[in-house]
Structure formats: structure tokens, C-alpha cells
Amino acid sequence: MLCKVLEPRQNYVLYIQFFAPFVGGMSGYYVSSYKDQKRNETRYLSVTQFEPAYARTAFPCFDEPAFKATFNITLGHHRKYVALSNMPVTKKISISGRKNWLWTIFEQTLPMSSYLVCYSVNDFAGLKSQSTFSVDFTTWAPASAIAQCKYAAHIGPRLLDYYERIFEIDYPLPKVDQLAVPDFSAGAMENWGLITYREAALFYAPEASSEVDKQRVANIIAHELAHQWFGNLVTMKWWNDLWLNEGFATYVATLGMQELCKKWHAYAEESLENMMVVLNSDAYHTTRAISQSVSRASQFAEQFDPITYRKGAVIIRMMHMFTGDMTFRKGLNCYLKRHAYGNADQNDLWRSLSEAAHKFGSMPRYLDVQRVMDTWTLQAGYPLITVHRDYVRNTMSINQRRFLIDGLGKTMEKDNSISKGCWFVPISFTLARRANFTATEPRVWLQCDSQVNDIPLEARSPLGAEADQWLILNVQLTAPFRVNYDTVNWRLIIKTLHGGDFRRIHTMNRAQLINDALALSWNGHLCYKIALDLLRYIKQEHAYMPWRAALDHLETIYRIIKQTADFTLFQIAVNVLCSITIAGLFQTIQIW
């Protein structure tokens, strides 16, 4: 109860006495530990993990992302420890009456959501990055492990500099700290200015770690640094739009990795990995939409799943492809500047991208980004595009339906509430004669009419001129959908794959053809003979991505067939497929 009635239009300062003990587990403000091997003793540290809604357990706050505030943080600790927080230290003063204890006072933060507040008291060593970059960049870990942070300290400023260039917005804080936490439930957390990581997500030892370990560390750091713009500078208004944070960070990380090391082929391979996860996990009737209403704190954690991360990244890449690189970057720059230090929802993103797309003519006026993208974010699943060619008139007709792989299958397809979906689909395609796999922009939009007839395949081609030419949709897997062709077109594709010029088909599309053919056969949409005839070409394939697609499906078949009498035949067939490729790879290595 207040002592007197508050007067309107007056400012009041509310002081609250608040006490919160360290909590168990790895959320809120908690205690972690590590083993000091040199001294053979356990060392302790404190650290925070406030996402999604644990800041309220550490201090009084409106613990929702839309309530941004500035934070003035002061930590009391023994002088043998280091105190870290989102901002640099302004001063340290002795605590009166407590020998060797200090108050460490930090600069006031920029406006930010409570879940991004972070602080830690520890005895770690700091490794400063040697860089001409204007931001102070330090990586923190136990002294015995600090050498394993050299790679993280090296690539961090490079990634931050790259993101500043592509977003055309400077990183707004004076420093970045990367902190290795021994006990940490998340892979990493993008707290503004003090990013926390699992040790395995930050450490890399050249003498003991693999190239895969190196790429994983790079991917995680690239993801967290991308969040400094997507999530920290501009934050989703509510948890239903978490994909605006995580989808962007997942996608932008692939661009960052490609910038770090071209030989990793990270952009293509990570994009394929994201696509394959989505095509598998989003094909069940139990899946959810990317943007899903949530109302209780207990539901927030459920949003951190492949639909948010992977499908979010896939549809962002789709927008990048159908708007074009310049339009996409200009639209994102507008979005970030317009909502800097504030919050946004998906409609705000659509608005900025639509303005850029129409300004630069990269999207027809009758469409806007919201009309297209709402069909991808507000409903679950993805489409199966069925293609029928007219080989005399050089045209094709396409239609769509939702693709489902549930065992309930045929019964469910009759249930329109589940199986009927409608998407605005950007359709890119190429024919064998030109085999142009660089043109990823849509040549046709399949709208929610569900069918488009008599689409010309090549302008000014004589009748029947393309009858012996294969057709492939979804160049470089621009969008998340499966494609089923008529039998003649499948046979034309198979003929090329088994010939010596199969590399005329882009690596990502070779992976797509394997993935689609086997998935369609599994679900009864395509004869298994066609799928297996196509798969046989892989004996001559040395690229990673087609094999990644093949092994994913072969593993599924393996789990079923190992219970049957045909298992031995299956093993022989797989051995034949693999042994020729392995022998070819060894021969290539010897030539090197």
C-alpha cells in the first residue's frame, strides 16, 4: 500500500528491496564450475542465462521482449575475480567494511530487452583479438584453456566487420566479450556485448580438433554475432516471431562462414542441410507454423526448434533469391534502421522488403512480400509441385498440394483441413539445352489458384524442339517444396545422370533429385523403379551434397529392411554403390 495517492502526470521513482538466491540448474543467475587441473581443485564462477524469461528470477523487471530499457549494472565481488557485463567497466571502488572486495560499475546499456542482460563473476583469463577493427574484442576462458580460444578470437572481428559491411550499419557497442561457460544449457547465447558459449562451441585446438570442429565453432560464432543486429538491435515484439531472430541468425551465419573460408562451400552445404531438415520435419500433420501464437512463459521454450531455426533460414534464403541480392540488402538495411533499438514483427519486415522490391523492380506490382510470405509463415507444411509437360507445344502445367509423409497418408489426403495447403511459390526452372543453374529468380509465380497451365518453357522454340530436353524446377533449391515430374521427364533426367555430363546439373539440384525421388517413392507418389534407377548414377558421384541426400534415405530404408529376409541383398546393393565412389575418391587423393 502506498502512503498517498499518486498524482497524474508526475514522474515517480520506485525502489524495491529484492533478494534472489542463486538458482539450481542452468537458467537465471547461477553458479558453474570447472576443474583446475594444475592445482587439482574445483573453481567456481557465476553467470546468467535469461532467455527466454528468466531475468525475472534475478531482478524485478517487465520480462517481455517488447519492454526495452537501459540497465545500470553494478557487481560486488572479491578482487581476485573478474566481473563482466554487457558494457565496459567505468570504475571499481572498494566495498566499505569488506577487505579485498570491490564494486565493479559498468556503463549504462543501450535500450535492450531484459533477456539480453548478462553478467558474470569469474577468474578467467582474457585473450584480446589482434585486429584493426574499432571494437574491443576479448575472449574469456579458464587460463589452462585460453590457447584453445585463438581461433575464436581471430574470426570474431572478421565476422563482425563483414556484417557491418553487408548490413551497412555499425555494431553499436564499444566491445564484444566471448565467454566460455563450463556448464551451459544452450549452445550459445547472444547477450549484447557479452556472448556466452558452451566450451565445445568456442574451443578449437589445431593439434587435436578436426576440420568439422573448426567449421562448427565458426558457424556458432557467426550465428551469435549475426544476432547483434537480428535480435539485439531489432528484437521481435513477442515470442511468436522468434524466427525473426533465429531464422536470420541461422541464414546470415552461412554467409559469414562463406566469407571466412570459400573452400568449405558453407553457403551451399548449410543451405542444403537446412532444406533437408525442413523437408523432413515439416512434412508431418503434427508440425506447426513458423509464426505460432504463444501466451504463457512455459510455451516459450517450445519455439526453439527446427521450424524456427531451419525453416526460418530457408524462407529467408527464398526471399533473398526471389528479390535479388541488392534488393534484399537494401530492404534489410531499411528494416534494421527503421526499428533500431526497438521491436518488430514479421509485417514490419514484409513492409521494408516490399518497398525495396517494388523500388528496384524485382517483384511484380500485383504481388507484395506480405502476400507471398504469409503463406509460408502462418500455415504449417510445404507444397508438392506436380509437373506435366506438353512435349509438342513446349509447355508445362503445374499444380500444388501439401506434401505429407505420415503413415496415415491416403486417409489424411482426403481431409482438406490437413492436406490442403496453398502457397505463393516462386518457380525457377531450366532446360537441358541451356542448363542455366545460376538464374535463381522466379520465371513463374504459382499462386493460390493451385494450378498454372501452358507455361512456355522456351521463347520462340519450334514445336517439339524441347521434347528430348529434361526440365528441372527449383534452381539451387530456391524454395522449400518437392517436385514430381511426369515419367518422360524423369527418364530424361536419369539418362543425363547416367551419362558422362551429369555435372551439367548443379550439385544442389542433383541432391534435390535424389531427395525428392526417394521421398516421393516412400510416400507412394512415384514408382520405386524410377527412384532407384536415378539413384544408381551415384556410383560416379564424388560431391558431398548428393551423397548426403542419398545416405539420409538409405538409412531410413536400412532401418526397415534389416528386419526382413532381403537385408543381405540391400547390403550388397549399397556396397556396390559406395565401393566404386570410395575407390574413385582414393584415386583422386593419390593424384593430389
Q: How far is it, in rounded angstroms, from Cα 119 to Cα 75?
A: 8
The DSSP secondary-structure symbol of 21 reads P
Q: Within a domain: residue 495? A: no
Residue pair 584/542 in contact (Cβ under 8 Å)? The answer is yes
Q: Hey, is 321 helix, strand or coil? A: helix
User: What CATH number does the domain containing 585 carry?
Assistant: 1.10.3480.20
Tell me, what's the pLDDT at 39? 86
Q: How far is it, in rounded angstroms, from Cα 199 to Cα 186?
A: 11
Cell numbers representing residue 419 in the block:
492436406
Q: Hey, is 377 helix, strand or coil? A: helix
Q: Within a domain: residue 12? A: no
* Edge-first strand listing for the sheet containing 28-36: 28-36, 41-49, 119-122, 82-85
Which amino acid is present at 132? T
Q: Which of 361, 377, 393 is the last residue of a domain?
A: 377
Q: How far is it, in rounded angstroms, from Cα 187 to Cα 331?
A: 30
Active-site residue (options: 190, 224, 259, 270)? 224
Q: Name the packing angle between helices 312-323 and 369-377 (round to 10°).
A: 160
Q: How many domains does the chain have?
A: 4
Write phi, then psi, for 4 (nearest 5 degrees). Answer: -145, 165
Q: How far is it, in rounded angstroms, from Cα 149 to Cα 129?
A: 10
Are residue 186 and residue 282 in the same domain, yes or no? Answer: no
Q: Which of 226, 261, 278 is the last residue of a domain?
A: 226
User: What CATH number does the domain containing 301 carry?
Assistant: 1.10.390.10
Q: Within a domain: residue 492? A: no
Cell numbers representing residue 147 in the block:
590457447
Cell numbers representing residue 471 in the block:
526440365
Are residue 288 and residue 351 in the same domain, yes or no? Answer: yes
Residue pair 514/538 in contact (Cβ under 8 Å)? The answer is yes
Bridge partners (DSSP) listed for residue 472: 430
Q: How far is it, in rounded angstroms, from Cα 58 to Cα 511?
A: 49
Are residue 449 and residue 340 in the same domain, yes or no? Answer: no
Q: Which of 197, 226, 255 is the last residue of a domain?
A: 226
* Residue environment code for 364-388, b if the CB has 16+ CB neighbours within 10 A, otherwise e: eeebbbbebbbbbbebbbbbbbbbe
As separate numbers, helices (DSSP H) first and strands (DSSP E) second, the chain gives 17, 22
Which amino acid is present at 81? Y
Residue pair 436/430 in contact (Cβ under 8 Å)? The answer is yes
**HEC-encoded secondary structure of 460-489:** CCCCCCCCCCCEEECHHHCCCCEEECCHHH
Are residue 365 and residue 389 in the same domain, yes or no? Answer: no
Q: Hey, is 265 helix, strand or coil? A: coil
28: region left, alpha or beta (phi > 0 left; psi from -120 to 50 alpha): left
Q: Within a domain: residue 491? A: no
Q: Within a domain: residue 16? A: no
Q: Hey, is 517 helix, strand or coil? A: helix
Q: Within a domain: residue 498? A: no
In 3D, which of 362, 290, 279 has the Cα closest to residue 321? 362
pLDDT, averaged per 10 consecutive residues of the chain (592 residues), comes to 87 88 88 90 96 95 97 98 98 96 98 98 96 90 97 97 96 98 93 97 95 96 98 97 97 97 94 96 94 85 92 98 96 98 98 96 91 97 96 93 73 54 94 93 87 79 73 98 98 94 96 97 94 94 94 90 89 84 65 48
Cell 563473476 maps to which residue? 121
Cα–Cα–Cα angle for 87, 181, 239, nearest 5°? 70
- Whether 77 has a binding-site annotation, put simply, is no
Are residue 448 and residue 517 in the same domain, yes or no? Answer: no
Checking DSSP bridges between strand 383-390 and strand 395-402, what pairing results, if any? antiparallel
Are residue 157 and residue 220 in the same domain, yes or no? Answer: yes
Q: Where are the alpha helices (DSSP H) in 28-131?
A: none
Residue pair 193/175 in contact (Cβ under 8 Å)? The answer is yes
Q: Within a domain: residue 151? A: yes
User: What CATH number does the domain containing 433 carry?
Assistant: 2.60.40.1910
Q: How far is it, in rounded angstroms, from Cα 580 to Cα 271?
A: 28
Are residue 300 and residue 363 in the same domain, yes or no? Answer: yes
Q: How far is it, in rounded angstroms, from Cα 205 to Cα 155?
A: 14
Are residue 177 and residue 258 in the same domain, yes or no? Answer: no
Are residue 319 and residue 412 in the same domain, yes or no? Answer: no
Are residue 581 and residue 462 in the same domain, yes or no? Answer: no
In 3D, which of 481, 585, 498, 491 has the Cα closest to residue 542? 585
- Whether 223 has a binding-site annotation, put simply, is yes
Cell 521463347 maps to which residue? 459
Q: For the whole model, what pTM was predicted? A: 0.92
In 3D, which of 341, 313, 299 has the Cα closest to residue 52? 299
Q: Within a domain: residue 6? A: no
Write the CB contacts of 376 (distance below 8 Å, at least 6 apart in sequence).
290, 315, 318, 423, 424, 480
Are residue 212 and residue 75 in the same domain, yes or no? Answer: yes
Q: How far is it, in rounded angstroms, from Cα 79 to Cα 393?
A: 82
Q: Is-catalytic flag, 41?
A: no
Cα–Cα–Cα angle for 154, 157, 162, nearest 5°? 125
Domain encompassing residue 253: 234-377
Tell me, what's the pLDDT at 411? 42
State the number of CA atoms in the 13 A half-sphere of 233 facing the CB.
Answer: 24
Residue pair 247/315 in contact (Cβ under 8 Å)? The answer is yes
Q: How far is it, in rounded angstroms, from Cα 479 to Cα 316?
A: 10
Which amino acid is present at 548? R
- Whether 246 has a binding-site annotation, put simply, is yes
User: What CATH number does the domain containing 220 carry?
Assistant: 3.30.2010.30
Write the CB contacts of 345 (distance below 8 Å, at least 6 apart in sequence).
236, 237, 238, 241, 244
The DSSP secondary-structure symbol of 69 reads B
Are residue 63 and residue 153 in the same domain, yes or no? Answer: yes
Tell me, what's the pLDDT at 416? 54
* Residue environment code for 503-534, b if the CB has 16+ CB neighbours within 10 A, otherwise e: eebbbbbbbbbbbbbbbbbbbebbeeebbebb
Tell me, what's the pLDDT at 452? 84
Q: How far is it, in rounded angstroms, from Cα 272 to Cα 546?
A: 10
